[in-house]
Amino acid sequence: MRILHILDHSIPLHSGYTFRTLAILKEQRDLGWETFHVTSAKHTGSVALEEEVDGWHFYRTPEHSRFASRLPILNQIAVINGLARRVADIVRIIKPDLLHAHSPALNAIPALIAARKASIPVIYEVRAFWEDAAVDHGTSSEWGVRYRLTRGLENFALRRVDAITTICEGLRNDMIGRGIAPEKITTIPNAVDIEKFAASRPANESLKEQFGLKSKRIIGFIGSFYAYEGLDILLRALPIMLLQHPDLRVLLVGGGPQDGQLRQLASQLGIGDKVIFTGRVPHDKVQDYYDLIDVLVYPRLSMRLTDLVTPLKPLEAMAQGRVLAASDVGGHQELIRDNHNGILFKSGDPNSLAQKVGELINVPGRWEDLRRAGREFVETERNWRKSVAKYQFIYSNLLNK
């Protein structure tokens, strides 16, 4: 079976989006399938039309140089048209059995254009809705003109592709609400590569000493500092928890758009000496920081993006046997059963976070059961081999038709 994957960017980028792509491609290669990969003009930093990256061969789409490509809306049309031409050229060369487009619709629509000419099926993998992500990033307002145009593009693609996969039930239900036939959509949830995650190791004592964390209890977050992550809720909860746990510290590992605001908030709350900002750390050193944290906290705010989409970080934490607490947004509730494989608190509520996490800190005897249940969940339900196997049925069904 020959599959052409249509992507925005190369897979070595360290993000949930590209980790999922890499996992899918590795499992498909292990199954003996031939996979090919093309990136749109949104991928930057490459001038060659073809190149090898970390052992993977990529076809590239050159950036459109016309003035119109730099204007709003017209620039998106330029991305679609350029990618459609590039995909059509590649299809003639490699003659794939089907096209696998990855979100957003800017990849799916070019796939449709090329596939109809070649009479081959298109599968569209939806990991989030582009319009909702734009709202959080501040480039669009909910239900504004740009939001509705983007939503229209997604609906156009959803109605015309031959099959749809998505990462969670929240997104599947939303698509059904848009009038997409349920039988057309298959949920292939986010998962982890179990073999890459070992159980918790002893903390690096020199690293602990470097950050002044000797003899401290540590809660924390590792990831990108976006507004929807709700890290301000964690900081607002800390003064409440410090009343009972004066030795408690918050470790924030990473960076992002909210970095400056969070540092300022910590200062305003008078907890600047109780919150450690490490900045971004090399990917191969992240494990050392995980090992410092007693309880990982994911305080995501409730909005369409977080209620519909399941994150990858809590699964990675479970795979390592970590203790975790998370807000009760829809995406978390698909992963975490309260008091079974983690703790849930009310989203957007510092008092609820302080109460639930404080109770968890008080009873470390519960931690082992939570760790065991989390690891069992990813081993039995959220491993990549089990998830990717579902593609074989979908692909075969499309080709038989």
Tell me: do 223 and 169 sit in the same domain. Answer: no
261 token code pair: 């605001």
Tell me: do 55 and 109 sit in the same domain. Answer: yes
- For residue 66, the model assigns a pLDDT of 59
What residue numbers bound the domain in which 89 lies?
A: 2-191+383-400
Could you tell me where the beta strands, DSSP code E, fall in 200-342?
217-224, 248-255, 275-279, 295-298, 324-327
Number of alpha carbons in the 13 Å side-chain half-sphere of residue 251: 28
Digit-coded pLDDT (tens) for 343-358: 999 999 999 999 999 9
Q: Quick one: average pLDDT of 276-280?
A: 96
DSSP β-bridge partners for residue 34 = 2
- For residue 13, the model assigns a pLDDT of 46
What pTM value is reported for the model? Answer: 0.83
Tell me: do 215 and 173 sit in the same domain. Answer: no
The total domain count for the chain is 2
Q: Which of 131-155 are b and which e, b meaning 16 or more Cβ less than 10 Å from the residue's Cβ?
A: bbbbbbeeebeeeeeebeebbebbe
CA distance 36 to 341: 38
Q: Which residue type occupies 39?
A: T
- For residue 203, the model assigns a pLDDT of 87
Return the closest-CA partner of residue 197 out of 316, 99, 289: 316
- For residue 72, the model assigns a pLDDT of 61
Tell me: do 159 and 259 sit in the same domain. Answer: no
- For residue 14, the model assigns a pLDDT of 43
Tell me: do 171 and 64 sit in the same domain. Answer: yes
CATH number at residue 251: 3.40.50.2000
370 token code pair: 């939570």
Could you tell me where the beta strands, DSSP code E, fall in 233-362?
248-255, 275-279, 295-298, 324-327, 343-345
Tell me: do 10 and 144 sit in the same domain. Answer: yes
Q: Which of 304-332 are b and which e, b meaning 16 or more Cβ less than 10 Å from the residue's Cβ?
A: bbbbbbbbbbbbbbbbbbbbbbbbbbbbb
Tell me: do 238 and 314 sit in the same domain. Answer: yes
- For residue 68, the model assigns a pLDDT of 54
Torsion of CA 368, 370, 375, 380, to 10 degrees: 130
